[in-house]
Chain A
Amino acid sequence: KQEVTQIPAALSVPEGENLVLNCSFTDSAIYNLQWFRQDPGKGLTSLLLIQSSQREQTSGRLNASLDKSSGRSTLYIAASQPGDSATYLCAVPRGGADGLTFGKGTHLIIQP
């Protein structure tokens, strides 16, 4: 059964810092990985989708990497801003079944 772990569970940093969020998964036979953002009381917004053939995907100040062999992905946020405050979730295909397995998320607070 696929399991996804996100570390840290919570993070609070001052504005302007570069930061890294971590995601690990137990079954490396995945064909992609997605990072999502969730604001309080809102739905999830897809940030980046990395195919298994890719090692990195970038969107603005966000960069996500994928290392299938080690079962890890990182989300790098450059020059963090208060508007980046949210919960960030990673998700991978469930493996042998439809749908995604989600991590429990990293709750990020950027202090002004």
Chain B
Amino acid sequence: NAGVTQTPKFQVLKTGQSMTLQCAQDMNHEYMSWYRQDPGMGLRLIHYSVGAGITDQGEVPNGYNVSRSTTEDFPLRLLSAAPSQTSVYFCASSRGGSAGELFFGEGSRLTVL
């Protein structure tokens, strides 16, 4: 019953550093996505993927890269972290596309100093 697994749960970075947030799902969902959650802003879509080899930009994609080499994994890369990227990041997957029932991971809390 793993569902959607995100690592790490917590991370502190310095401005300009790079890192990758990992996301894996074991439900064979074609659709995967990344959201960020900020106080007063709600959740906003960063990037999404409708299947292996296919990715696209969401509402707030700047500063983030993604790839989807397998159905199971959808990593989010920050190439040069900025304080504005301090947030809680959630990975979500669905069998029915973006508007199907979404299954979320427990989140990765990132602080950029």
A residues at B contact (CB < 8 Å): 4, 31-32, 34, 36, 41-46, 49, 89, 91, 93-94, 97-100, 102-105
Main secondary structure of the interface of A (DSSP, over half): strand
- Residue tally, chain B, CB below 8 Å to A: 26
Whether the Cβ atoms of A43 and B58 lie closer than 8 Å is no
Contact segment of B12-20, B40-48, B63-71, B75-83: B40-48
Residues of B within 8 A of A97 (CB): 58-59
Residues of B within 8 A of A102 (CB): 42-44
In the assembled complex, B2 has its CB within 8 A of some CB on chain A: no
Contact (A46, B99) CB under 8 Å given A100-B45, A105-B42: no
Measured between C-beta atoms, what is the minimum distance from B94 to chain A in Å? 9
Max chain B CB contacts within 10 Å: which of A89, A93, A98?
A: A98
Residues of A within 8 A of B4 (CB): 43
Contact (A45, B58) CB under 8 Å given A93-B99, A104-B42: no
